[in-house]
């Protein structure tokens, strides 16, 4: 009978490792409190490094908590880097300082991934590593599951599914999400400085609107009514302008039941702002000021590197008319072409069409295919066809167009703005056009909102509005190629496929 191969050199299974840690945990529980309620920290890793000269000279004790990221040593000494939110300090454990029983706990029962607080004085090792010479320690929490060895090499999908491990193992990920928070904070500061009022509008709405998108649908049991998760907060913010608030903004979660790719997630963060007595030109100036301010703070003196692109926000942003850009790429004046000719042109460019697509959608597809990829430097695309913008005011000079802009940077859209439509009669007519699209099978067209029309009939002054995708903006400012990189918990298909 052949002998069973030895497993001595085989990696231990996760189940076996967990069992081993549970055994250690049982033994450790007889010696210390496994899950204490708090820890009195004197310094985090950044504070300890900043105060190093004074702490070393005075031999003052520091109390520093964090997660053990590695262990090395033999005999009577162990070195272990301990990580907190901001960085790492090394801990130096000596049997002579701790005693046999306490040193044995560190050596044998406390694992990589466990949380611990160390107390002692600071010194520099021969390799110039700032280190805590541990005189005492407090056990803080057991990691029953071991940390992966090389999580920083894992796929974006795995990091997105297990963000806790991504953050635990990768300092650069922590910094990226801190930067996201700082960006949003700076946006708030900008609008507050511009005398805007921050407001909140409903997430659950009896009727969706403010954008062309397919909504998520839910049901309120107590009211026995269908509700929709907002696709935009535009129509509610405009009600506030009707009510007499002159400058309002909201940083809101929006939800659209649409496809997912590197710049789309079904749940996303949107900035929307509205100002009475403004038009889209005023909003263009405001948007340029805000983006330039962010680029100065979070870039290199107003310049950014995004992938292999160098983007300069110091120069005046390019202003490009929508139909002019299409004419430049196709050699034809699409304003004069029939619907059939526009459709044939799109087909000749390899764009797939379906029966629900009207002229507006086809023009939008042509623009996305032919123009958007080349919009690298900050560019305001202006003056869109009326069919594309049911909430925008007709252009004061160009028939068939509306006063609208989109801001493009690095080949994708960041912001969208209108001189807002405030004539309730024209708004009703636009809603009727959208209704016809719905009846033709367009699931993204906007339904008629009688409540909003009633509000508009109370009178809304001239108004400029702007919406900006915060997630895409953070992608740009953090040099991230995928929206999953800037969302702590992006939506993903369950592991193993459909469920």
Would you write out the chain's pLDDT as a tens digit for each of its 499 residues? 333 333 334 455 678 889 999 999 999 999 999 999 999 999 999 999 999 999 999 999 999 999 999 999 878 999 999 999 999 999 999 999 999 999 999 999 999 999 999 999 999 999 999 999 999 999 999 999 999 877 666 788 888 999 999 999 999 999 999 999 999 999 999 999 999 999 999 999 999 988 888 999 999 999 999 999 999 999 999 999 999 999 999 999 999 998 899 999 999 999 999 999 999 999 999 999 999 999 999 999 999 999 999 999 999 999 999 999 999 999 998 888 888 898 889 899 988 888 778 788 899 999 999 999 999 999 999 999 887 777 789 999 999 899 999 999 999 999 999 999 999 999 998 888 888 888 888 888 888 899 999 999 999 999 999 999 999 999 999 999 999 999 999 998 888 755 4
Q: How many CA atoms lie within 13 A of 316 on its CB side?
A: 4
Q: Are strands 197-198 and 204-205 parallel, antiparallel or unpaired?
A: unpaired
Distances (CA, A) of 69 to 128, 170, 281, 358, 479: 19, 11, 53, 58, 27
User: Pick from 59, 40, 42: which is nearest to 121 by CA?
Assistant: 59
Integer Cα distance of 346 and 491 in angstroms? 33
Question: Residue 2: exposed, middle, or buried by beta-carbon count in 10 A (0-12, 13-18, 19+)?
Answer: exposed
Residue 138 is encoded by which pair of tokens? Answer: 């407090």
**Domains with residue ranges and CATH for the chain:** 14-147 (2.40.50.140), 167-317+377-486 (3.30.930.10)
User: What is the predicted pLDDT for the residue at 153?
Assistant: 67
DSSP per-residue letters across 408-465: EETTEEEEEEEEB---HHHHHHHHHHHHHHHHTT-TTSPPP-HHHHHHHHT---SEEE
Measured over the CA atoms of residue 170, residue 172, residue 176 and residue 178, the dihedral's sign is positive
SS3 (DSSP) at 297:
helix
Q: Give backbone dihedrals phi and psi of 410, rounded to 5 degrees, phi first.
A: 60, 25
In 3D space, the residue among 99, 95, 102 whose CA is nearest the CA of residue 139 turns out to be: 102
Report the length, in residues, of the chain.
499
423 φ, ψ (degrees, to nearest 5) = -90, 110
Q: What is the pTM of this model?
A: 0.89
Tokens of 81: 């880097």
Report d(CA 323, CA 180) in Å as an integer.
35
3-state SS assignment for residue 106: helix
The number of beta carbons lying within 10 Å of the beta carbon of residue 294 is: 22
Contact assessment for residue 410 and residue 378, using Cβ atoms and an 8 Å cutoff: no
Cβ(449)–Cβ(234) under 8 Å? no
Q: What is the pLDDT of residue 158?
A: 86
Q: Is 249 helix (H, G, I), strand (E, B) or coil?
A: strand
């Amino acid at each position: 009978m052949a002998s069973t191969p030895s497993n001595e050199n085989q990696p231990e299974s996760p189940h076996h490792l967990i069992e081993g840690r549970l055994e250690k945990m049982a033994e450790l529980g007889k010696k210390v409190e496994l899950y204490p309620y708090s820890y009195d920290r004197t310094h985090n890793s950044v504070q300890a490094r900043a105060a190093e000269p004074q702490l070393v000279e005075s031999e003052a004790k520091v109390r520093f908590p964090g997660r053990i990221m590695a262990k090395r040593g033999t005999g009577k000494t162990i070195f272990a880097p301990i990580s907190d939110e901001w960085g790492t300090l090394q801990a130096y454990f000596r049997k002579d300082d701790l005693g046999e029983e306490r040193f044995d706990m560190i050596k044998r029962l406390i694992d990589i991934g466990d949380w611990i607080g160390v107390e002692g004085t600071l010194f520099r090792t021969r390799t110039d590593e700032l280190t805590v010479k541990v005189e005492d320690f407090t056990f803080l929490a057991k990691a029953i599951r071991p940390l992966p060895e090389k999580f920083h090499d894992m796929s974006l999908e795995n990091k997105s599914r297990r963000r806790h491990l991504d953050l635990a193992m990768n300092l650069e990920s922590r910094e990226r999400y801190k930067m996201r928070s700082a960006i949003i904070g700076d946006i708030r500061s900008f609008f507050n400085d511009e005398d805007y009022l921050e407001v909140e509008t409903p997430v659950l709405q009896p009727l969706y609107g403010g954008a062309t998108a397919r909504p998520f649908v839910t049901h309120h049991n107590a009211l026995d009514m269908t509700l929709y998760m907002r696709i935009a907060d535009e129509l509610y913010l405009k009600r506030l302008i009707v009510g007499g608030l002159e400058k309002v903004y909201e940083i809101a979660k929006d939800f659209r039941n649409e496809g997912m790719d590197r710049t789309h997630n079904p749940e996303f963060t949107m900035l929307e702002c509205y100002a009475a007595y403004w038009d889209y030109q005023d909003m263009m100036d405001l948007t340029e000021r805000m983006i330039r301010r962010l680029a100065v703070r979070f870039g290199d003196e107003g310049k950014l590197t995004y992938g292999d692109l160098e983007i300069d926000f110091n120069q005046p942003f390019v202003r490009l008319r929508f139909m002019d850009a299409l004419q430049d790429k196709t050699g034809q004046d699409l304003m004069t072409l029939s619907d059939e000719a526009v459709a044939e042109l799109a087909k000749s460019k390899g764009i797939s069409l379906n029966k629900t697509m009207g002229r507006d959608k086809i023009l939008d597809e042509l623009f996305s295919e032919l123009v958007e990829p080349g919009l690298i430097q900050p560019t305001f695309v202006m003056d869109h066809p009326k069919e594309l913008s049911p909430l925008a005011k007709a252009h004061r000079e160009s028939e068939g167009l509306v006063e609208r802009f989109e801001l493009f940077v690095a080949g994708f859209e960041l912001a969208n703005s209108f001189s807002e439509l405030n004539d309730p009669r024209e708004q009703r007519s636009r809603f009727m056009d959208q209704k016809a699209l719905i009846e033709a099978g367009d699931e993204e067209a906007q339904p008629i909102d009688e409540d909003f029309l009633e509000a508009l009939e109370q009178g809304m002054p001239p108004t400029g509005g702007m919406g900006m995708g915060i997630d895409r903006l953070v992608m740009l400012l953090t040099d991230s190629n995928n929206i999953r990189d800037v969302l702590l918990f992006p939506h993903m298909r369950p592991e193993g496929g459909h469920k």
